[in-house]
Amino acid sequence: MPGISAKAQTFGESVIRDMTRMAIRHGAVNLAQGFPDFPCPPELKAAAKAALDADINQYAITWGAKRFRDAIAAKTSRTYPGWSVDPDTQVTVVCGATEGMIAAMLAVLDPGDEIVVFEPFYENYGPDAILSGAVPRYVTLHEPDWSIDEAELRAAFGPKTRGIVLTSPHNPTGKVFDRRELELIADLCREHDAVAFTDDIYEHIVYAGEHIPLATLPGMAERTVAVNSMSKTYSVTGWRVGWVIASSELTSGIRKVHDFLTVGAAAPLQEAGVVALSLPDDYYATLAADYRERRDALLPALEAAGFRVYVPDGAYYVMTDFSGIDPELDDVSFARRLVEDPGVAAVPGSSFYSRPELGRSKIRFAFPKRLETLAAASERLARLRVPAA
Ligand code: PLP
């Protein structure tokens, strides 16, 4: 009987998406997968409907509708003055950051190249690297503040290093990399002629510090592939519309790979994207303030239930350690217990590590949810509380 490739055998199914299926089965409050349970801005829905009615229903240009690429370039330069983006040669519209990251890696990396990945990491990057034939070199972010050990990072760069993945704000830790850390990463990229693959999808969800795109550091625009998406900023994870900004040289490769992978992202939703990226600045201020409120609603409930909480400075996840509640269980068993009773779905920590033992006592909660949903989760979590001796 035909079997699957050696490549496909090297990684498992997504644990995050599996937890969502378990949540549905058990009627649990789903704080596993990072998608909002509230509506997207009404302007976006109106724009998408108008685009369908205007018969924008056929393939867009493979690397993105001109109006949308123009809006991406304009929004990027408006948000980060000094970062100038040519919409005609430096932007590729893709089916979400997910496709953006793998298309970029396939376009830039060759089999045997090494790519540095901070761990814990968003679980897609491992398979992305493997499917590109590259070898991930993991560098640990150290608790409690997820700091970089400069010597460890330097040691991960070698003659085969061709790239590094940087996610800031970071999933799953909520770390926002500061300028000093970014300068170190930029120095290493320049020294080793490596490409930085930045995942900027949480750029507007920051509670402390600021998001500094790596591409804006001196000499980095030409060696940064900046992956971004509408998913998180505009609460439309199901639309599957994202973009990649890179030098024209790298973009020419990314566009070819993207074309043969997917041909293009949904044409009517790219039109709605023009409206999204033209929203005024106060949209982003409100987005961050609303997420701060959600974070501040969930964290005390987790602490009261006995979790050790690593307070996130950005993105919409919180890493926790449950050893104070049950030191015996491993993360997968604990997540299973939690989804069954009291009925809250979260993601086992080991799925964010190459060395599963590092995540053995950890579990990640996502909070892009209505306050009512977070209140329901908090009520359930209260049932976990260890009774006073
Ligand atoms: N990158 C990170 C760091 C994420 O956390 C996620 C989703 O959770 C994605 C990419 C997926 O983005 P998209 O929906 O644009 O494919």
In the structure, what pLDDT confidence band is assigned to residue 4 with cuts at 50, 70 and 90?
very high
Residue 165 CA to ligand 1 center (angstroms) comes to 13
Residue 273 to residue 293: CA distance in whole angstroms: 26
What is the pLDDT averaged over residues 83-96? Answer: 98
Quick one: which atom of ligand 1 is closest to the CA of 33?
8
pLDDT tens digits along 178-198: 999 999 999 999 999 999 999
In the structure, what pLDDT confidence band is assigned to residue 115 with cuts at 50, 70 and 90?
very high
Could you tell me which residues are beta bridge partners of residue 321?
308, 362
Provide the CA 188 distance to its chain's centre, in angstroms.
23
Predicted pLDDT of residue 20: 86
Residue 384 CA to ligand 1 center (angstroms) comes to 30
Residue 387 CA to ligand 1 center (angstroms) comes to 38
Nearest to 242 by CA among 256, 257, 258, 220: 258
Q: Classify 145 as helix, strand or coil.
A: coil
In the structure, what pLDDT confidence band is assigned to residue 385 with cuts at 50, 70 and 90?
low
DSSP label at 214? G
Nearest to 221 by CA among 82, 327, 320, 335: 82
Quick one: which atom of ligand 1 is closest to the CA of 16?
8
Q: Which of 30, 122, 225 to mutate to test the pocket of ligand 1 (most atoms within 8 A of CB)?
A: 122
0.85 cut: is pTM over it?
Answer: yes
Greatest CA separation for the chain:
67
| Alpha-carbon Rg for the chain in angstroms | 21
Predicted pLDDT of residue 169: 98
Residue 385 CA to ligand 1 center (angstroms) comes to 32
What phi, psi does 95 have (nearest 5°)? -85, 75
Indicate the helix (H) or strand (E) that contains 73: helix 66-79
Average pLDDT, the chain: 96
- Tell which wins on pLDDT, 270 or 385: 270
Q: Classify 165 as helix, strand or coil.
A: strand
Quick one: which atom of ligand 1 is closest to the CA of 34?
8
List the domains of the chain with CATH numbers: 6-40+282-381 (3.90.1150.10), 58-279 (3.40.640.10)
pLDDT tens digits along 284-328: 999 999 999 999 999 999 999 999 999 999 999 999 999 999 999
Residue 174 CA to ligand 1 center (angstroms) comes to 14
Could you tell me which residues are beta bridge partners of residue 139?
118
Q: Which of 202, 231, 319, 365 to mutate to test the pocket of ligand 1 (most atoms within 8 A of CB)?
A: 231
Per-residue DSSP letters for 219-254?
A: T-GGGEEEEEESTTTTT-TTT--EEEE--HHHHHHH
Q: Which of 167, 171, 211, 239 to mutate to test the pocket of ligand 1 (most atoms within 8 A of CB)?
A: 171
Residue 125 to residue 115: CA distance in whole angstroms: 10
Predicted pLDDT of residue 386: 56
The answer to whether the peptide bond before residue 169 is cis (omega within 30 degrees of 0) is: yes
Q: Which two tokens stand for residue 221?
A: 């625009």
User: Measuring from each residue's beta carbon to the nearest atom of ligand 1, which residues come in under 6 Å?
Assistant: 34, 96-98, 122, 167, 171, 199, 201, 229, 231, 237, 242
3-state helix, strand, coil in the chain (%, to 5): 45, 15, 40
If one counts every other C-beta atom within 10 angstroms of the C-beta of residue 252, the result is: 14
Predicted pLDDT of residue 74: 98
What is the pLDDT averaged over residues 162-181? Answer: 98
The answer to whether the peptide bond before residue 172 is cis (omega within 30 degrees of 0) is: yes
- Tell which wins on pLDDT, 57 or 11: 57
List b or e across 234-246, with b for residues whose CB sees 16 or more CB atoms inside 10 angstroms: bbbbebbbbbbbb
Predicted pLDDT of residue 335: 95
Per-residue DSSP letters for 287-344?
A: HHHHHHHHHHHHHHHHHHHT-EEE--SBSSEEEEE-TTT-SSS-HHHHHHHHHHTT-E
Q: Whose CA is nearest to atom 5 of ligand 1?
A: 171
Quick one: which atom of ligand 1 is closest to the CA of 229?
15
Asked whether the CA dihedral 163, 169, 175, 180 is positive or negative, the reply is positive
Q: Classify 135 as helix, strand or coil.
A: strand
pLDDT tens digits along 332-364: 999 999 999 999 999 999 999 999 999 999 999
Nearest to 102 by CA among 73, 123, 78: 123
Predicted pLDDT of residue 18: 82
